[in-house]
Structure 1
Amino acid sequence: MSIAKDLRPNLAIVLGAAVMLSLGMGVRQSFGLVMPPLTRDIAVTISEFALAMSMQNLAWGFLQPVAGLLASRLGFRPVMLAGTVLYLAGLAVFASAQGLLGVMLGAGALIGIALACTASAIALAVGSRAVPARSRSLILGVITATGSLGALLSAPLGQALIIELGWRAGVLGFLVLALGMLPAAWLAGRVDRLPLPTAGAALGDVSPRTALARALANPSFLVMTGAYFVCGMQLLFITTHLPSYLAICGLDPTLSAQALAAIGLFNVFGGLFFGWAGGRWSKLALLGGIYISRSIVLACYFLLPPTPATTLVFASLMGFLWLGVGPLVAGSVVEMFGLRWQAMIQGVAFMSHQLGSFLGAFGGGLLFDTLGSYDLAWRLGVGMGLVAGLVQVSFALMRPPRAPSFP
């Protein structure tokens, strides 16, 4: 009852942030469906397509702290609306691509810039300001969970259009879905009218440079940021290369869409669970547990011959462990540094995540083109995930994060 009471005054803000996140992430996570027909149609190789996805992640990561700073200075609404317009422009360029340049510019650079302004770091920063501290972790989990539903729409729609009308029609279908981000961003922008909670008010006296310096001097933040690198590597390897892997194994092309939809569905349960759990136990230890569990699931799947059943089980388990990191990372940043510069500091951590994403997407494609299989790529992903998870859990238990450096 207290959760509903905390949520009610700013329900429109939370729903707007969730829908914006849902559509943006759902469409972006479905780009792997486009790769097999696109690479046959316009003579773009798998590694080149992966390079475009890697550019997207680099642009997203490097501009995320900038977008967070602008949102803190100018307001969230203008940043989110500008990002949505760029998202739509990127899809339009992608749909009309005649070669690598169009794919790099549309699906890569423009979508990457747009995600820095509309995706998880911004959406969760909006949610953090809209609810009291006692409900924050669970509400962030709700935003993450609702934000996972976009893949349930985009993956089946995109796959159906691709099969019937070609990959360009699939991308145009994504564009129609993404139009819903405009009203969602406008509603979420109401957060600019809210006064900064008392817990974050003192940050008004701290410059962005000082806030960033204190974050980079915090050992708990640095370990979390390093482990977040491996998180991005694992996730982008899966979303970019799973459709290609299934095609190589001779499985039905619709299985890729079903797997991505399963990831989106079980992401709902994972987001809710880890949002709830983060309000009760160490957020940093939970993060490490996610990384370890993901690595075990990844190893089991690639060690077994792929079938429709094992693929859907794998996608469901990975979905549960997918974006549950979102409320845990956002909540940890607020606990360590407060609200005033949350979007910027969380953006720094996310930059590390996106560098890992670059390695997962492009590195996986490069290893495949070089070796003719994904064996080495998934083995590296498993090994690095286990190490990152164990270090994160050990550090969280041995050295819990200090109280906020500034309220």
Structure 2
Amino acid sequence: MRPALWTIVAAAAASISLALGMRQTFGLFLLPLSAEAGISPAVLGTAVAIHNLVWGLSQPISGAIADRHGAGRVMAGGALLLAAGVGLPALWTSAPAILIGIGLLTGIGVSCCGTGAALAAVGRAVPPARRGEMIGLASAGGSLGQAAMVPLAQSLIGGVGAIATLGILALTLLVIVPISRGIEWGAPEQVPGRAATGLAGLPALARQALADRDFALLTAGFFACGFQLAFLTMHLPSHIALCGLPTGLGAMALMTIGLFNIPGSWLCGKVSNHLQPELALGAIYALRTVAIACYAFTTPTYAGTLVFAAVMGFVWLGTIPLTSAAIARRFGVADLGALYGVCFLSHQVGGFLGAAAGAVLLETAGSYEAFWPVMVAVGIAASVMNWIVRPPRVAMA
């Protein structure tokens, strides 16, 4: 028997909250791990870059498995990998442990219990008229996790140290295992005449989708989302500290992003019920780019940083329900997890480059000054790509 709709939405929101909330804390460990264990910022920065790339490569696979066999078991398995990846550096604090744990294991884990499988399950359970709104509500769960876990991690790092904090976060992530029972534990109900492709048919499905000009443009635009957000998640706290502002402001900025994204994600999802999602995505990328340009090319202040965080937060995860809605309109929901994963791979390639380039720049130049113009250029390109996407000839239910 399928769980009730609100049980599915709540389970998806809780899993996303813990998974994405955890990964939003990575930037807080950049300098403390260096001081406490002698781990170079470049090592953690590289690990986070690998995490983003592995997440992207794993997302189509985990999505295809969830489409065919149900999201719940995929999420439970991902939670175990996620906890192991965060806990490994706590037990064996070294560069290899960070690269394997944070880089490889958490990348696979988040692909299983983050947005992909969970939101696809919500999309299948919700009537088309409310699909965007409910996906937006579930994705706002990631913001709740960020708002709660960032200050918690910051407090723990100051109290018990960075290494012990990693262990505590690893144990916390195991809560996802029982949560996953509340969402698609068995094979999902299939659309009549349209069974999920599954893992075996994933390569052909990806080729067919990417041959669609408009899906390809949507996918290319998603690169900018990952590029911008991975850089800010990983490097904004360090940038703030290098500008001479209080170190606690970095955690407060990330928490502000999370708080403002709670209404933002829901609103973006609701908008997709009434407007072509790609048009709204183009507007989001444009707003982000203007905010980044204003913040980067003026002298950072305490108040200005929080305003920047609030603006970015309002549209931080808003791309996720809009992108999911755009894919569902074009291809239906039977393969939503797999197709979202194909699109999301572009997002994570951008995240890999954003996190890695920022780490290299910090190591070599000692500042992020040269990176901000690239952030602006990438955002402008993403806006244009989404604005020239054509709506599907026939919207799928």
> Fold-level match, TM-score > 0.5?
yes
SS at match of 1:304: coil
Deviates more, 1:341-350 or 1:175-184: 175-184
Amino acid at match of 1:220: D
2:227 counterpart residue number? 233
Please report how far the alpha carbon of residue 364 of structure 1 lies from its aligned counterpart in structure 2 after TM superposition: 1.2
Please report how far the alpha carbon of residue 179 of structure 1 lies from its aligned counterpart in structure 2 after TM superposition: 2.6
1:402 counterpart residue number? 393
1:273 aligns with 2:267: yes
1:367 counterpart residue number? 361
Partner Cα separation in structure 2 for residue 388 and residue 194 of structure 1: 34
Amino acid at match of 1:152: A
1:117 counterpart residue number? 112
1:297 counterpart residue number? 291
1:330 aligns with 2:324: yes
Partner Cα separation in structure 2 for residue 295 and residue 173 of structure 1: 36
Equivalent residues in 2 for 1:131-142, closer than 5 Å: 131-142=126-137
Amino acid at match of 1:235: L
Q: Using a 3 Å threshold, how does the CA distance of structure 1 residues 204 and 153 change in structure 2: closer, same or farther? A: closer
Please report how far the alpha carbon of residue 309 of structure 1 lies from its aligned counterpart in structure 2 after TM superposition: 1.0
Identity of aligned residues (%): 36
Please report how far the alpha carbon of residue 230 of structure 1 lies from its aligned counterpart in structure 2 after TM superposition: 1.2
Please report how far the alpha carbon of residue 90 of structure 1 lies from its aligned counterpart in structure 2 after TM superposition: 1.0
Partner Cα separation in structure 1 for residue 197 and residue 280 of structure 2: 33
1:248 aligns with 2:239: no
Q: 1:100 aligns with which of 95, 99, 112?
A: 95
1:126 aligns with 2:121: yes
Please report how far the alpha carbon of residue 177 of structure 1 lies from its aligned counterpart in structure 2 after TM superposition: 2.9
Determine if contact 2:68/2:196 at 8 Å carries over to the other structure. no
Please report how far the alpha carbon of residue 391 of structure 1 lies from its aligned counterpart in structure 2 after TM superposition: 2.6
> Across the two proteins, how many residue pairs are aligned to each other?
394
Determine if contact 2:220/2:385 at 8 Å carries over to the other structure. no
Q: Using a 3 Å threshold, how does the CA distance of structure 1 residues 66 and 279 change in structure 2: closer, same or farther? A: same
Partner Cα separation in structure 2 for residue 138 and residue 222 of structure 1: 24
Q: 2:252 aligns with which of 221, 242, 258?
A: 258
Partner Cα separation in structure 2 for residue 401 and residue 360 of structure 1: 31
2:60 counterpart residue number? 65
Give the alignment's Cα RMSD to 1 decimal: 1.9
Q: Using a 3 Å threshold, how does the CA distance of structure 1 residues 375 and 213 change in structure 2: closer, same or farther? A: same
Return 5+ residue gaps in structure 1 as ranges: 1-6
1:12 counterpart residue number? 7
SS at match of 2:367: coil
1:38 counterpart residue number? 33
Q: 1:26 aligns with which of 12, 21, 28?
A: 21
Please report how far the alpha carbon of residue 193 of structure 1 lies from its aligned counterpart in structure 2 after TM superposition: 5.9
Between Structure 1 and Structure 2, the one with more helix by share is 1
Determine if contact 1:80/1:189 at 8 Å carries over to the other structure. no
Partner Cα separation in structure 1 for residue 323 and residue 74 of structure 2: 22
Amino acid at match of 1:255: L
Please report how far the alpha carbon of residue 74 of structure 1 lies from its aligned counterpart in structure 2 after TM superposition: 2.8
Please report how far the alpha carbon of residue 291 of structure 1 lies from its aligned counterpart in structure 2 after TM superposition: 0.8
Determine if contact 1:226/1:352 at 8 Å carries over to the other structure. yes
Deviates more, 1:333-342 or 1:220-229: 333-342
Q: 1:154 aligns with which of 149, 152, 174?
A: 149
2:194 counterpart residue number? 202
Determine if contact 1:54/1:108 at 8 Å carries over to the other structure. yes
Determine if contact 1:93/1:106 at 8 Å carries over to the other structure. yes
Please report how far the alpha carbon of residue 163 of structure 1 lies from its aligned counterpart in structure 2 after TM superposition: 0.8
